[in-house]
């Protein structure tokens, strides 16, 4: 009488199978990560497209004049949020899915949040106050606004007050809204030192480094942006210095010269 023995894998065979699985995972993981990044970027672009529509509807209801975001007081910097409120319902539109969420537990003093690379910002109605719902990771190009008082930077000739303003460049080159470390900024301000940040960790909170609020690699090599023509696309970080941020901004400047040396982290 023959005794039947159960067949199974030998130790060597098991090790070979495990090695093959590990190899496949090492090959697939980067691809899966890339797919996830692309998916988050697609959601971000969808958010920005909807913000472009919000501003478009605001223009239609306000004689084609942009929102008033004149600086000088705490609340005025957040004016675009309140003025576009009738045109959106989903507050998730404020935050890019690739942005690191703001952690209140690590900020008991309610220090104003900005300049931490990829993290979201928060704002309150006045300094030192906080509303947990007011969190986001997009910012407005503050040169796109109607002026009702003496501008904080430049003069009225710098600003795109109306959707029909002469730009000196295609509307597809004028940024309206984008991934940002803060609620908005004046890139290329006439009195600003617009040198690229030496690292992605630079605090862009000072008025001398307005462009740096947008200069980060949130999506691969740059950020996502919606322009005045309502188009949405990704912008390489170095291309930021080539966009028409305000009406007299020179898109062919010192930073666009072939000989300019960019910081290593931007290459």
Q: What is the pLDDT of residue 195?
A: 78
What's the alpha-carbon Rg for the chain, to the nearest Å?
24
- Give pTM, 2 decimals: 0.80
Q: What is the pLDDT of residue 115?
A: 43
For range 28-42, the mean pLDDT: 77
In a domain, 177, yes or no: yes
* pLDDT > 90 in the chain, percent: 24
Q: What is the pLDDT of residue 69?
A: 67
In a domain, 222, yes or no: yes
Q: Give the residue numbers spanning the domain of 107.
A: 11-266
> pLDDT category, 105, cuts 50, 70, 90?
low
> pLDDT category, 32, cuts 50, 70, 90?
low
For range 212-224, the mean pLDDT: 90
Cα distances from 173 to residues 74, 183, 193, 231, in angstroms, run: 29, 20, 22, 10
The tokens for 164 are 């029909």
Q: What is the pLDDT of residue 267?
A: 85
Of 20-24, 26-30, 79-83, which gets the smallest average pLDDT?
A: 26-30
How far apart (Å, rounded) are the C-alpha atoms in residues 59 and 54? 9
Query: In angstroms, how far apart are the furthest CA atoms of the chain?
Result: 105
Neighbouring C-alpha atoms within 13 Å toward the C-beta of 19:
6
Torsion of CA 200, 171, 192, 134, to 10 degrees: -60
For residue range 128-176, list pLDDT tens digits in order.
Answer: 555 655 778 899 999 998 887 778 778 888 899 887 666 667 889 999 9
In a domain, 213, yes or no: yes
In a domain, 169, yes or no: yes
Q: Is the pLDDT of residue 24 over 50?
A: yes
Q: Which of 197, 226, 225, 224 is nearest to 211 (CA)?
A: 197
How far apart (Å, rounded) are the C-alpha atoms in residues 104 and 134? 12
**Mean residue pLDDT across the chain:** 79
Q: How many domains does the chain have?
A: 1
Q: Of how many residues is the chain composed? A: 267
- Residues 197 and 209: beta-carbon distance below 8 Å: yes
- Residues 21 and 197: beta-carbon distance below 8 Å: no
In a domain, 186, yes or no: yes
In a domain, 5, yes or no: no
In a domain, 71, yes or no: yes
Of 6-20, 108-122, 241-255, which gets the smallest average pLDDT?
A: 108-122
Q: Are strands 121-122 and 175-179 parallel, antiparallel or unpaired?
A: unpaired
For range 170-193, the mean pLDDT: 85
In a domain, 101, yes or no: yes
C-alpha 151, offset from chain centre: 24
């Amino acid at each position: 009488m023959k005794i039947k023995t159960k067949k199974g894998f030998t130790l060597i065979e098991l090790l070979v199978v495990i090695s093959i699985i590990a190899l496949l995972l090492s090959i697939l993981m980067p691809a899966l990560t890339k797919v996830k990044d692309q998916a988050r970027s697609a959601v971000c672009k969808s958010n920005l497209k909807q913000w472009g529509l919000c501003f478009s509807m605001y223009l239609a209801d306000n004689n084609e004049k942009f929102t008033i975001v004149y600086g000088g007081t705490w609340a005025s910097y957040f004016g675009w949020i309140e003025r576009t409120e009738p045109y959106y319902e989903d507050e998730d539109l404020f935050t890019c899915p690739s942005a690191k969420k703001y952690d209140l537990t690590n900020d008991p003093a309610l220090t104003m949040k900005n300049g931490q690379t990829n993290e979201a910002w928060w704002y309150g109605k006045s300094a030192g106050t906080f509303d947990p719902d007011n969190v986001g990771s997009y910012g407005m190009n503050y040169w796109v606004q109607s002026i009702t008082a003496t501008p904080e930077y430049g003069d009225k000739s710098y600003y795109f007050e109306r959707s029909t303003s002469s730009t000196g460049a295609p509307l597809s080159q004028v940024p309206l809204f984008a991934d940002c470390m803060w609620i908005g900024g004046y890139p290329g301000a006439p009195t600003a030192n617009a040198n690229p940040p030496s690292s992605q960790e630079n605090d862009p909170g000072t008025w001398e480094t307005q462009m740096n609020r947008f200069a980060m690699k949130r999506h691969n090599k740059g950020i996502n942006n919606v322009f005045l023509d309502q188009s949405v696309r990704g912008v390489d970080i170095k291309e930021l210095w080539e966009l028409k941020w305000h009406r007299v901004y020179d898109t062919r400047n010192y930073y666009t010269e072939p000989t300019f040396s960019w910081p290593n982290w931007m290459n």
